[in-house]
Structure 1
């Protein structure tokens, strides 16, 4: 049986109740929301593997909700809409939806699309064996031979010092490294207590590799101790 969680977002209760029956019969866990605001709150509070998202809803429509979700989440999103024109489909897909279903639709067709999207997502999420001389951490790839760094296959250009710091943290994944140790290993000279060079370089690295440098995904600060990559 399936264990994935599907979030149904639609203000038409009849549609939600119908899909609830079909999806629960397949073993999925269901969450429900009547508008985009409720959907965002549920996504923040619960792990969600796939979202079925209606376009036309009160308070916050599906387009706005999809764009907001895509700022930080990558799970599949299937849009529902009574509009069937090509421009509407293009709009939905261009702002981050993975599939688009026009109302009225067959519940069995939607169920098949849910299964297909979840299969594809699982394959994409499956860990890939790292190539020789590569360190791979959750979408971040560091090639220690070419000094090339990519985030989700997008190249990021680092200075030699920035690369050395990132490589050092990555090779010691899960270990907190003090600013003193980082400085001594990268600059190869004694560390001065008043020296904020490491902190400045960490900030610059975050600006290049983090989507939100103020809430970093990769380089974490352990206050009073130093930095680590989890």
Structure 2
């Protein structure tokens, strides 16, 4: 039985598509590819890929529309690969449901690293369905979800309820960029008012408690203008 993950590449630039496909083939991944959005949607429904690599600038439809359509019925990880490097477009893609965003030009080692993160999410989610995730461990940081205890180097640290909610939200999506709006909605239930400033304040406080050097964080990284990401390894 072949358990290798299947990756769908939706990219209209033939040179880039061949570049990605060659890298996937070298790494032993199974893959299918197409140059347009409509065919991509058909392949998603017919082949149920494990991961989708998606270009936004397709000839027949905007890649953002594909993200919207897929998220109506599937949680398949979507890695956007696009020449659109503006923060606004990154935020829009991530808010619509993309899992990651790589700006062209990019190195193949970066793409493969993002793929490995997405695959870990898939395997982690599968195990969580069998047994709910009870703890998160990353380096010296440990979160015991059942006891609601956060410890660093085996010493318990005190977090406020909001700090705990932010930390657990990031940890449950480790490796994935969470936009400011997503965090605000999940933690405060709203993106209206002073919550955006509150998020920055609570994040600074949280980092002072868990990071050895808050200005050079080890655990929670800032995606400038977009949001935050808990490292995954």
Query: What TM-score do you get using the length of structure 2 for normalisation?
Result: 0.54
Q: What is the CA–CA distance in structure 2 between the aligned matches of 1:61 and 1:11, rounded to whole Å?
A: 12
Aligned to 2:84: 83
2:180 corresponds to: none
Unaligned runs of 5+ in 1: 131-230
Deviations 1:110-162, CA, capped at 9 Å, x for gaps: 011011111112101223337xxxxxxxxxxxxxxxxxxxxxxxxxxxxxxxx
Equivalent residue pairs, number: 131
Distance 1:76 1:54 in 2: 14
Aligned to 2:66: 65
Structure with larger Rg? 1
Listed as ranges, the matches of 1:121-136 within 5 Å are 121-126=122-127, 127-129=129-131
Alpha carbons 1:7, 1:48 under 8 Å: kept: yes
Q: How does 1:115-126 map to 2 (within 5 A)?
A: 115-126=116-127
CA shift in 2, pair 1:87/1:59, >3 Å: same
2:97 — aligned with what? Answer: 96
- State yes or no: 1:54 paired with 2:55: yes
Unaligned runs of 5+ in 2: 133-233
1:47, distance to aligned residue in structure 2 (A): 2.5
Cα distance, 1:59 vs structure 2: 1.1
In structure 1, distance between residues paired with 2:26 and 2:39: 24
Residue of structure 2 in register with 1:21 after alignment:
22
Contact 1:2 1:27 in 2 (8 A): no
Secondary structure at 1:83 match in 2 = coil
> SS at the partner of 2:31?
strand
User: 1:62-110, CA deviations, whole angstroms, 9 ceiling, x for partnerless residues?
Assistant: 1011111111111110011112111111001000100000000001110
Inter-partner Cα distance in structure 2 for 1:63 and 1:12: 17
Residue aligning to 1:3: 4
Q: Is the deviation greater in 91-100 or in 115-124?
A: 115-124
Measured on the aligned residues, the alpha-carbon RMSD in Å equals 1.8
| 1:27-72 residue CA offsets vs partner (Å, 9 max, x unmatched) | 1111101111111000111120000000011112210111111111
Pairing 1:1-230 to 2, within 5 Å after superposition: 3-126=4-127, 127-129=129-131
Counterpart secondary structure, 2:113: helix
Q: Distance in 1 between matches of 2:131 and 2:49?
A: 26
